[in-house]
Amino acid sequence: MEKVAFAVASRAADNPRSGIREIFTLANDKAARGETVYKLMIGVPDARTPDTVIDGTIAALKAQKTQYTANAGITELREAIAGQVNRAHGLSVQADQVIVVPGAMAGLLFANFTIEPGNRILVPTPGYPNYKMQAGLTGLELLHYRLGIENGFQPDLDELEDLLKSDGAPVGAILINTPGNPTGTVFNKETISGIARLAEKHGVRIISDEVYKDIILDDGLEHISPARFAPDHTLLVGALSKKYSMTGMRVGFLIVPRHAIKDTDVLGEATISCAPSICQWGGVAALEGDQSQVAGYDLQYRQRRDAIVEILTAADMTFTRPNGAFYLMVDIGDAGLSSREFALQLLEENGVGVAFGSDFGPIDPAHPLYAECDRLVRIAFCSGSMDELEGGTKRLCEFYKERCA
Ligand SMILES: Cc1ncc(COP(=O)(O)O)c(C=O)c1O
């Protein structure tokens, strides 16, 4: 019998691959060959996971809490998450609105599943590349809104409204990400309340990716969720991944408006059953336990941000000083290279790994925002020593100057 190969659907086969992974793999290969590598390309904090989280997880394991939990997660964790967002961000979420998921990625996917396939989704550009991938998997059409470096990467509300009114399939959601990856920008209060008003006016949901909500780098600045202004239009996605340095434990959440609880309760059952039971208990320990190991944890990011900003300023580079998360975008547009070529050559010749801007842009190189993203590279400053960060940033500046000369 002749065997006939099956074809993988284009939503997976043709989905864009992660450029960050490409650089990450090359950087690791280089390091494995014994070469010096400055790893500024990936957003995985190298802080230790707090002991309370480790102990809480081990205790759950020893107590045999190893079976399925309710689809939406254990009550203790749902209550702890609701309590945390209410206290920290002035919301009035109840535990039954919280769906515990394996990381923010699953929360974003669930949020996409609430949109009719074929609808459009407004995504920040430059923005987290996985938004594009998930739209491809869930049958949504991408509509890019611009975050301009000259405007500190804040969106323009008029442009957003024009896009909401533009011809084409209905717009199902405005996705926002504040503090943002890759920009490090915290959207200001007027912007968030303006987006909330637009969502209510046009009857679209906001998917609010708040995975960096706890990482604010300037005094007097506050993380503001659109759920504060438009609770019935906001799907709030968060995770414990970054603050508690537990990215591999996969504890995230999706908070749905009250009116959507019943219609979304199938999502967990049909996909993941539940988030890993013992990690959920680790999550309870993270939120309810001793916070001393995370107290002032953002100080290290502030110090790292300040050091990089000083180097970039001294080298007269164009960039936006980030005030949240742990990323910074630098303009390398005059080097005469695409951002990918720049990143590959910088790694090969100077041993510095950075993420390239086109990875955060539209898939289609002919899209007007592609070229803008392609002028940028992203520095991640959440891991490595200060020497590594400073050395890598200086080398980046030198490499850029050489190429411009
Ligand atoms: C903007 C953004 N959203 C979501 C995620 C995914 O978070 P998690 O690891 O909790 O799934 C990341 C991870 O880097 C991110 O940068």
Domain assignment present for 249: yes
- N- to C-terminal Cα distance for the chain? 64
Mind listing the pLDDT tens digit for each residue in 89-116?
999 999 999 999 999 999 999 999 999 9
Question: 288, 312, 330: which is the final residue of a domain?
Answer: 288
**Ligand 1 pocket, residue 211 CB under 6 Å:** yes
Confidence grade of residue 405 (pLDDT, cut at 50, 70, 90): confident
pLDDT at 346 over 90: yes
Is residue 7 domain-resident?
no
Question: Domain check: are 139 and 236 in the same one?
Answer: yes
Examine the domain organization and report whether 159 and 111 are in the same domain. yes
pLDDT at 298: 86
What's the 268 CA to ligand 1 centre distance in angstroms?
A: 19
Domain with 173 in it: what CATH number?
3.40.640.10
Whether residue 138 is found in the same domain as residue 229: yes
- Residues 322, 184: contact at Cβ < 8 Å? yes
Residue of 130, 187, 210 best suited for mutating to test ligand 1, as the one with most atoms within 8 Å of CB: 130
The model's pLDDT over 235-245, given as tens digits with 9 standing for 90+, comes to: 999 999 999 99
CA distances from 90 to 173, 224, 327 (A): 23, 9, 26
- Residue 104's pLDDT is 98
For residue 92, what pLDDT is reported? Answer: 97
**Domain limits at 183?**
51-288
Structural domain includes residue 328:
yes
Between the CA atoms of 313, 317, 319 and 322, what dihedral angle is there, to the nearest 10 degrees?
A: -30
Same domain, 387 and 238: no
Same domain, 324 and 278: no
Query: Sorting pLDDT into bands at 50, 70 and 90, what band is 378?
Result: very high
Residue 100 contacts residue 238 (beta carbons within 8 Å): no
The average pLDDT across 55-67 equals: 98
Answer yes or no: do 149 and 268 share one domain: yes
- The pTM of this model reads 0.96
287 burial (CB, 10 Å; 0-12 / 13-18 / 19+) is: buried
pLDDT of residue 42: 87
Atom of ligand 1 nearest to the CA of 240: 10
Of 258, 288, 318, which residue sits at a domain end? Answer: 288
Is residue 239, in this structure, part of any structural domain at all? yes
Q: Alpha-carbon distance 238 to 232, whole Å?
A: 17
Mark which of 288, 306, 328 sits at the end of a domain: 288
Residue nearest atom 13 of ligand 1, based on CA coordinates: 43
Domain holding 23: CATH number? 3.90.1150.10
How confident is the model over 249-297, as pLDDT tens digits?
999 999 999 999 999 999 999 999 999 999 999 999 999 999 999 888 8
The mean predicted confidence, pLDDT, of the chain is 96
pLDDT tens digits, residue range 142-153?
A: 999 999 999 999
**CA 207 to CA 115: how far, in whole Å?**
11
Q: Is the pLDDT of residue 18 over 90?
A: no
Dump pLDDT digits (tens) for 354-365.
999 999 999 999
Identify whether residues 229 and 96 lie together within a single domain: yes
Share of the chain above pLDDT 70, in %: 100
Query: Number of structural domains, the chain?
Result: 2
* Whole-angstrom distance, CA of residue 98 vs CA of residue 92: 12
